Chain A
Amino acid sequence: MMRLCKLLPLLELLMNNSEVVKRLSERLALSQREIRRLLRVITEVFKKTLDEDLSFTIPKFGTFGTHVRQKRKAYNPHHKTFVMLPPKRGVSFHPSSVLKGHIKAQSLDNE
């Protein structure tokens, strides 16, 4: 039964972009078209900010930032060769303690 309860949220499909847009337009009393445009601008600005090695925080939500994974040696078992992989950047998201608290409280409730 416990397992079934855990699976139930999966049955509802993920909240996709259009669902987010719908809710935001209800919340802010703006048209969905306008919200879509604004979201596009927001993600563009996020992208550029992250690309410039800057991190930023959205209050009560979390911090977005980037980290660099240095170049490293790897082994290709198929060709039996060692390969030097180039450095790579990743986007990190650290949820704020408020959001983490909500999630924790919910998972403890489910127990």
Chain B
Amino acid sequence: MSKKITFSDLVGCIADEAGVSKRVTHDLLKGMAAVVSEGLLRNGRVSITGLGIFKLKWRAARQGINPQTGEPIEIPAQNQIYFKPEAALRTFINQRYGHMKPEIIDHDIKPVPSIPKSKDSFFWRKRAALGWSAGLLALFLLMLVGMFSLFPPSYGPAPPVKETTQPQEARRYRIPIKVSTEKEEQIQPVPKPDPLPVSVGKPSSVHNVHQGESFWTIAKTIYTDPYLWPNIYRANLDVVDNPDVLEVNTTIYVPPLEGRVGSLSKKDIIDIIDGYVQVYLVYRRLNKTGARNYLWVAKQYNVPEVLEQYEDKIDASDRDFILRIKGSARIG
């Protein structure tokens, strides 16, 4: 608790500053208190410039406990006085901390036991959600297996098609949905030393496409963030033309990320923007609706230099579109 000055000291201080007698100041302060109390009783809200707003808040009746005897007490509903200091007063009071800004902490650092609860509870919730979704997935797979055992494949639909095509337009924005005739369990990619001639010198992983897989699902399993799929498509421009059609048993190269999801490096971001622009270009060539949405996402990463490289290839109407549409995307 801070030190206190007496009321008479305060009156003296104000009287000196204002150049009036202490008596007038005393009366004024008392009068001010009386007027505010009166206003609170009458209107419930009193504002004084330079200080703030006094107002009443309605508190519902609640059950309390007598701390000495432990017996329950009924606390009736009543008004409570609430003071909100003016913004100018708040900033004036906080001048000494004005130079301090919120600092971003590297979230890779392991939580120390003394760290606030909120962090722990956040991770807990995430883990619980993961377990929940894993359980759902297992149930779904069980059902599928049951279906297949009831109806053997010979009576089922035609043998698996060689190509995974997309029969309908991707409805959901940014998510190209790949529909296949049957679903199989997604097999984890096997990281191998890079046999393909790829320009990146870093260790990379090569992925063999299975039935039912798409760039979206591959990015989800390897990068853990499906929205980074244009990064994979970009590295396989010579193998795959239409990102919606991915042939089974194609070997695709999955470029490694320098950073990780949540803290991508500058180079990663530039690659991802390039990927989104490539997706835009191919969708525009195929006259797909919603192609410009990918350009908009590329713009959301806020690295205009990459977009400037493609300036002559970008359609004028699409450029107008991305400049017109406001809002922000979830950027990994």
Which A residues have a C-beta under 8 Å from some C-beta of B?
Answer: 6, 9-10, 12-17, 19-20, 23-24, 27-28, 30, 35, 37-47, 49-51, 53-62, 65-66, 72-75, 78, 80-93, 95, 99-100, 102-104, 106-108, 111
Contact yes or no, B5 A42, CB < 8 A: no
Contact yes or no, B50 A39, CB < 8 A: yes
Closest-by-CB residue of B relative to A46 is B51
Measured CB to CB, the closest approach of chain A to B106, in angstroms, equals 8
Report 10 cross-chain contacts, Cβ distance below 8 Å, ordered by A residue: A12-B42, A39-B48, A41-B17, A42-B28, A54-B4, A60-B37, A75-B119, A87-B100, A91-B90, A99-B81
Q: How large is the interface on B (under 10, 10 to 19, 20 to 34, 35 or more residues)?
A: 35 or more
Contact yes or no, A90 B85, CB < 8 A: yes
Measured CB to CB, the closest approach of chain B to A63, in angstroms, equals 8
Contact yes or no, B115 A16, CB < 8 A: no
Closest-by-CB residue of A relative to B61 is A111
Contact yes or no, A80 B107, CB < 8 A: yes
- CB contacts under 8 Å to A, within B1-38, are 1-7, 9-10, 13-14, 17-18, 20, 24-25, 27-38
Contact yes or no, A82 B105, CB < 8 A: yes
Closest-by-CB residue of B relative to A19 is B39
Contact yes or no, A15 B39, CB < 8 A: yes
Contact yes or no, A106 B41, CB < 8 A: yes
B76 interface residue per 8 A CB criterion: yes
Closest-by-CB residue of A relative to B17 is A41
Contact yes or no, B14 A41, CB < 8 A: yes
- CB contacts under 8 Å to A, within B78-133, are 78-81, 83, 85, 89-90, 92-97, 100-105, 107, 115-116, 118-119, 122
Residue in B13, B34, B52, B116 whose beta carbon sits within 8 Å of that of A73 in the complex: B116
Q: Known contacts A9-B44, A73-B115, A81-B105: does B35 contact A44 (CB below 8 Å)? A: no
B40 interface residue per 8 A CB criterion: yes
Contact yes or no, A39 B10, CB < 8 A: no
**Complex contacts, A80 vs chain B, CB 8 Å:** 107, 262
Contact yes or no, A106 B49, CB < 8 A: no
Measured CB to CB, the closest approach of chain A to B53, in angstroms, equals 8
Q: Known contacts A55-B3, A56-B7, A81-B105: does B81 contact A38 (CB below 8 Å)? A: no
Measured CB to CB, the closest approach of chain A to B222, in angstroms, equals 19
Contact yes or no, B79 A20, CB < 8 A: no
